Amino acid sequence: MQYKTDPPRLQAATDWPATREEGLQRLSDFVDRAGSHYAAERNYDFGPEQRTNVSVLSPYIRHRLISEAEVAAEVIAAHGLSASEKFIQEVCWRTYWKGWLESRPAIWDRYVQDVVHLKNADAQNDLMQQVRVACAGETGIACFDAWARELVETGYLHNHARMWFASIWIFTLKLPWQLGADFFMTHLLDGDPASNTLSWRWMCGLHTRGKTYLARSSNISEFTRGRFPQTERLAPFAEALTDDGQLENAQPVKPRKKLPSGDVVLLVTDEDLNPETLTFDDARVRSVVMLSGLEHGVTYAPRVTRFKSAARLDARARGARQFWCTFENLDCSDRHAAERLVQLANGLPFVCAEIPVGPTRAAFEPMLDVLNAQGLAVHFVRRDWDDAFWPHASNGFFQLKSKIPSVLQRLGISG
Ligand X SMILES: Cc1cc2nc3c(=O)[nH]c(=O)nc-3n(C[C@H](O)[C@H](O)[C@H](O)COP(=O)(O)OP(=O)(O)OC[C@H]3O[C@@H](n4cnc5c(N)ncnc54)[C@H](O)[C@@H]3O)c2cc1C
How many angstroms separate the CA atoms of 44 and 332, rounded?
41
How many angstroms separate the CA atoms of 299 and 301, rounded?
7
* 215 near ligand X, rule: CB under 6 A: no
Nearer Cβ to ligand X (24/320): 24
How many angstroms separate the CA atoms of 317 and 290, rounded?
11
* 314 near ligand X, rule: CB under 6 A: no
Interface stretch with ligand X, choices 120-128, 158-166, 221-229, 349-357 (CB under 6 A):
158-166
Query: Dmax over Cα atoms in the chain, in whole Å?
Result: 65
Footprint (CB under 6 A) of ligand X, residues 357-376: none
Distance in Å, CB of 98 to ligand X, minimum:
9
Interface stretch with ligand X, choices 117-125, 191-199, 262-270, 373-381 (CB under 6 A):
191-199
**How many contiguous H segments (helices) and E segments (strands) does the chain have?**
18, 5
Among 63, 64, 104, 162, the residue binding ligand X under the rule CB under 6 A is 162
Among 11, 14, 43, 159, the residue binding ligand X under the rule CB under 6 A is 159
* 166 near ligand X, rule: CB under 6 A: yes
Interface stretch with ligand X, choices 162-170, 333-341, 347-355, 404-412 (CB under 6 A):
162-170
Among 16, 111, 171, 200, the residue binding ligand X under the rule CB under 6 A is 200
Nearer Cβ to ligand X (192/271): 192
For 233, the 3-state DSSP assignment is coil
How many angstroms separate the CA atoms of 171 and 153, rounded?
25
* 196 near ligand X, rule: CB under 6 A: yes
**Number of other CB atoms surrounding residue 9 within 10 Å:** 12
Footprint (CB under 6 A) of ligand X, residues 27-56: 42, 54-56
Footprint (CB under 6 A) of ligand X, residues 83-122: 90-91, 93-94, 97
For 29, the 3-state DSSP assignment is helix
- How far apart, in Å, are the Cα atoms of 213 and each of 66, 92, 131, 163, 241? 31, 20, 21, 8, 12
Among 67, 139, 154, 195, the residue binding ligand X under the rule CB under 6 A is 195
Distance in Å, CB of 223 to ligand X, minimum:
13
Contact at 8 Å (CB) between 31 and 78? yes
Distance in Å, CB of 280 to ligand X, minimum:
26
Polymer length of the chain: 415
Task: List phi, psi (to 5°) of 299.
Answer: -125, 120
Among 29, 45, 74, 192, the residue binding ligand X under the rule CB under 6 A is 192
The packing angle between helices 302-323 and 177-187, to 10°, is 50
* 184 near ligand X, rule: CB under 6 A: yes
**Number of other CB atoms surrounding residue 354 within 10 Å:** 18
Residue in 314, 375, 369 with CA at minimum distance from that of residue 347: 375
Distance in Å, CB of 108 to ligand X, minimum:
13
> Which residues are near ligand X by CB under 6 A?
42, 54-58, 61-62, 90-91, 93-94, 97, 158-159, 162-163, 166, 184, 188, 190-192, 195-196, 199-200, 203
